[in-house]
């Protein structure tokens, strides 16, 4: 069997670049080296480079996404996408690779762009009866009327960047006087922001993947934050408990499993997705969907796969094989 050349892209252009590098490195270390020739590819604002075996960097040729090495030019049979945020999670890379005819492991361009824009994704899914929080939307430069916003979404509320992940630029606002500062914080991350009503209930994270050709919902994770909400510290610095399987009723599990799978099918997703929900009166309300979730050993989706009896090697290898089929 001829070994496939797999380029693992990591880094990106946002605050999530460091987290993405960790995810990508885990993928590189985990993929079956007998089956694949694995190349770490760093896509950063200032440079796109491949890391050669001796640790040196070689610039990628953006005309055909190839890599020059001492042993000749490498063309990739498949790209494993481990970039959180732009350009890996907003449709840019998907469109570029599609134009070049190179398969990649995440969803297609449209789905990636839609899910990265929280407002647009929630608006589309609401029309299918998916429950969400109430929200108000602002573009940079819009007049923000705190009284009108609070009248619409209530207090407390969350202010978050519309197109950013990993809980960057998010604030919980308990008092109307704190709303302008929270808006300013979110605008540092993005030129569009979302202000959402506070949902009081159990928060869960649901991974959905295409596993051996079948849409598969992984065991559900309950998020218990030591902080006031599941912020960056809670997510990445151990200030939360992530309990898999979640401590929810059989009926709640059935409902959120059905909703998560339905969303994956409605949006015609591929690859990995991880959606966050909060239960209000026993009903799951969607917060957002991530299409390039964290992939380190400590990340939620790999934890869920482990509980389902799927190893990291199997999880990542399956993503490549599914991409090569499409």
Q: Domain of 66: which CATH number?
A: 3.40.50.20
Question: What local confidence, expressed as pLDDT, does residue 167 receive?
Answer: 57
CB contact set of 33 (below 8 Å; sequence gap of 6+)? none
Residues 94 and 233 in one domain: no
Question: What local confidence, expressed as pLDDT, does residue 289 receive?
Answer: 95
Residues 145 and 250 in one domain: no
DSSP string covering 240-276: EEEESS-S--HHHHHHHHHHHHHHHHHTT--S-EEEE
Question: What local confidence, expressed as pLDDT, does residue 166 receive?
Answer: 43
Q: How many domains does the chain have?
A: 3
Helix then strand then coil, % of the chain, to nearest 5: 30, 30, 40
Task: Supply 167's token pair.
Answer: 């809980």
Average the pLDDT over 165-177 and give the result.
79
State the residue range of the domain holding 268. Answer: 113-131+200-325
- CA nearest neighbour of 42 among 2, 12, 78, 14: 12
Q: Is the pLDDT of residue 96 over 70?
A: yes
Question: What local confidence, expressed as pLDDT, does residue 1 receive?
Answer: 73
Average the pLDDT over 34-41 and give the result.
97
Residues 16 and 122 in one domain: no
Question: What local confidence, expressed as pLDDT, does residue 236 receive?
Answer: 46
What's the rounded Cα separation, in Å, for the pair 35 and 40?
A: 16
Residues 16 and 147 in one domain: no
Find the CATH number of the domain harbouring 122. 3.30.470.20
Most trustworthy range by pLDDT among 165-169, 186-190, 234-238, 242-246 = 242-246
Q: What pLDDT band is residue 234 in, cutting at 50, 70 and 90?
A: very low
Q: Is the pLDDT of residue 23 over 70?
A: yes
Residues 291 and 265 in one domain: yes
Which burial class, exposed, middle or buried, applies to 5 when counting CB atoms under 10 A from its CB (0-12, 13-18, 19+)? Answer: middle
Average the pLDDT over 288-314 and give the result.
96
Last residue of a domain, one of 197, 218, 235: 197
Beta strands in 147-261 (DSSP E): 157-161, 171-173, 192-197, 203-211, 214-217, 221-225, 240-243
188 φ, ψ (degrees, to nearest 5): -70, -25
Average the pLDDT over 94-107 and give the result.
98
Residues 124 and 263 in one domain: yes
C-alpha distance from residue 76 to each of 8, 165, 201, 257, 318 (Å): 10, 28, 45, 35, 17
Residues 238 and 280 in one domain: yes
Over residues 176-232, the pLDDT tens digits come to 999 999 999 999 888 999 999 999 999 999 999 999 999 999 999 999 977 555 444
Q: Which string of b and e fits 6-21 if b means at least 16 CB within 10 Å?
A: bbbbbbbbbbbbebbb
CB contact set of 244 (below 8 Å; sequence gap of 6+)? 219, 220, 221, 222, 300, 303, 304, 307
Find where tokens 């408990």 sit: 241
Rounded percentage of the chain residues whose pLDDT exceeds 90: 86
Residues 176 and 164 in one domain: yes
Task: Supply 164's token pair.
Answer: 């950013």
Question: What local confidence, expressed as pLDDT, does residue 169 receive?
Answer: 73
Average model confidence (pLDDT) across the chain: 93
Last residue of a domain, one of 197, 213, 243: 197
Average the pLDDT over 149-174 and give the result.
85
Q: Which residues pair with 36 in a beta bridge?
A: 4
Q: What pLDDT band is residue 279 in, cutting at 50, 70 and 90?
A: very high
Question: What local confidence, expressed as pLDDT, does residue 189 receive?
Answer: 86
Last residue of a domain, one of 182, 197, 212: 197
Residues 123 and 101 in one domain: no
Beta strands in 116-226 (DSSP E): 135-139, 157-161, 171-173, 192-197, 203-211, 214-217, 221-225
Question: What local confidence, expressed as pLDDT, does residue 231 receive?
Answer: 45
Comparing 10-19, 120-129, 155-164, the range with the smallest average pLDDT is 155-164
Residues 82 and 37 in one domain: yes
Question: What local confidence, expressed as pLDDT, does residue 57 receive?
Answer: 95
Residues 242 and 122 in one domain: yes
Residues 122 and 239 in one domain: yes
Rounded percentage of the chain residues whose pLDDT exceeds 70: 94
Question: What local confidence, expressed as pLDDT, does residue 285 receive?
Answer: 97
């Amino acid at each position: 069997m001829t070994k496939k050349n797999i380029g693992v892209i990591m880094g990106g252009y946002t605050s999530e670049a460091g987290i993405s590098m960790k995810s990508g490195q885990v993928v590189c270390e985990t993929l079956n080296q007998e089956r694949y020739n694995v190349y770490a590819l760093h896509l950063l604002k200032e440079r796109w480079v491949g890391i050669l075996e001796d640790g040196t960097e070689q610039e990628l040729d953006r005309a055909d996404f190839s890599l020059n090495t001492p042993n000749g030019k490498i063309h990739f049979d498949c790209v494993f996408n481990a970039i959180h945020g732009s350009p890996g999670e907003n449709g840019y890379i998907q469109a570029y690779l599609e134009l070049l005819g190179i398969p990649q492991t995440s969803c297609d361009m449209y789905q990636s762009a839609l899910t990265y824009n929280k407002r647009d994704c929630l608006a589309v899914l609401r029309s299918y009866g998916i429950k969400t929080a109430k929200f108000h939307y602002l573009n940079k430069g819009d007049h923000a009327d705190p009284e009108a916003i609070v009248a619409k979404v209530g207090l407390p509320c969350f202010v978050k960047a519309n197109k950013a992940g990993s809980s960057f630029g998010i604030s919980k606002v308990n008092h109307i006087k704190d709303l302008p500062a929270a808006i300013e914080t979110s605008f540092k991350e993005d030129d569009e922001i979302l202000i959402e009503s506070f949902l009081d209930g159990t928060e869960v994270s649901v991974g959905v993947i295409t596993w051996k050709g079948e849409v598969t919902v992984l065991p559900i994770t309950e998020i218990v934050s030591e902080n006031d909400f599941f912020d960056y510290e809670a997510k990445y610095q151990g200030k939360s408990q992530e309990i898999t399987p979640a401590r929810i009723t059989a009926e709640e599990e059935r409902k959120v499993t059905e909703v998560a799978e339905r969303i994956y099918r409605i949006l015609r997703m591929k690859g990995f997705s991880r959606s966050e929900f909060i239960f209000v009166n026993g009903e799951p309300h969607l917060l957002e969907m991530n299409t390039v979730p964290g992939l380190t050993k400590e990340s939620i989706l790999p934890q869920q796969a482990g509980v389902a009896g799927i190893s990291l090697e199997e999880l990542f290898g399956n993503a490549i094989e599914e991409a090569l089929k499409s």
